[in-house]
Amino acid sequence: MFNHLIKRAEAVIEALPYLMKFYGKTIVIKYGGAAMENPDLKNAVMRDVVLLKYVGMNPIIVHGGGPDINRFLKRKNIETEFINGLRVTTFAVMEVVENVLGNRINAEIVSLIKKNGGKAKGFFGKKGEVIKARKHLSKDENGNPIDLGFTGDVVGIKYRLLQKWMRMGYIPVISPIGVGAKGQSYNINADHAAASIAEHLKAAKLILMTNVRGVLGKDQNLISSIDAEKAERMIKSGQITGGMIPKIKSCLYSLKRGVEKVHIIDGRIPHAILLEIFTDYGIGTMVE
């Protein structure tokens, strides 16, 4: 008669070791991919994040917004290109990035968290100046410099400001827009921004949400774990390409700087974050 209720109770009990392990710990979530496109998934992700806060963890959301940016650029007939997974950011592109990431997506995420019973504080660019940045310097395979415009690198994080808001019960929501020494805004790769924030806050986990199951092998099967040496080989051989390159590099960066665990997961799976945190094997690729 009560079997279905007993199963629910058993599921909660199974989660107890993880609730104890991560109580009070910081979990940085890079929110992107299909989970930002599908309205049902959007709401489900924010509900899961609010749950993490209520059971005693400290989630932080760092969001992307590439598809929305691309749509707005297309409407304005502004061309854009990517080099090694990074967007070339002209002045016109930067204006669109600030509008889409800051004024639209960030505000929507904050609103969804509030709708699901949580408290959220949005930060983007000059609003809080959480991410300190400088111009990204890149070179081609021959060592010649490549100008990526207002694409930037993270040089610092106002982590004490984030800690203050977390202590007050808020979930920080951060757009990957950095601010330079002279007040110039820079477009930061969201994976890199999330990695830097995880580093400065000594996060227990960094979770990168994407549109694929994780890192895939030649046979297109999921690789459940991957180390730095294997990752570099896969990049050189062309197995890892495009936007997965900055993801892998962000993972390795975080691990070298003290983040305990880094995962790349499929954001198309309902409750993907909870499955990753509250199960032994997780659902994506663990980078170690």
Yes or no: say if 68 and 175 are a contact pair by the CB < 8 Å rule: no
Q: What is the pLDDT of residue 176?
A: 96
In a domain, 161, yes or no: yes
Per-residue model confidence as pLDDT tens digits over 39-66: 888 999 999 999 999 999 999 999 988 8
- 127 CA to centre of own chain: 19
Beta bridge partners of 28: 60, 206
In a domain, 228, yes or no: yes
Q: What is the pLDDT of residue 281?
A: 64
CA-based max dimension of the chain:
72
In a domain, 9, yes or no: no
The 8-class DSSP code of residue 205 comes to E
Contacts of 49 (CB under 8 A, 6+ apart): 29, 59, 61, 113, 118, 171, 273
In a domain, 11, yes or no: no
Q: What is the pLDDT of residue 215?
A: 82
In a domain, 131, yes or no: yes
In a domain, 13, yes or no: no
The 8-class DSSP code of residue 212 comes to S
The 8-class DSSP code of residue 173 comes to E
Domain membership of residue 229 as a residue range? 23-287
Q: What is the pLDDT of residue 24?
A: 95
Query: How high is the mean pLDDT of the chain?
Result: 89
First to last CA, the chain: 45
SS3 152: strand
- Neighbouring CB atoms inside 10 A of 1's CB total 5
The enclosing domain of 240 has a CATH number of 3.40.1160.10
Q: What is the pLDDT of residue 36?
A: 79
In a domain, 87, yes or no: yes
Q: How far is CA 238 from CA 193, 231, 233, in A?
A: 25, 11, 9
Q: What is the pLDDT of residue 131?
A: 97
Low-confidence ranges of the chain (pLDDT < 70): 1, 34, 280-282
- Neighbouring CB atoms inside 10 A of 2's CB total 8
Q: Retrieve residue 25's tokens.
A: 């710990």
**Total domain count, the chain:** 1
Q: What is the pLDDT of residue 153?
A: 94
In a domain, 32, yes or no: yes
Per-residue model confidence as pLDDT tens digits over 154-201: 999 999 999 999 999 999 999 999 999 999 999 999 989 999 999 999
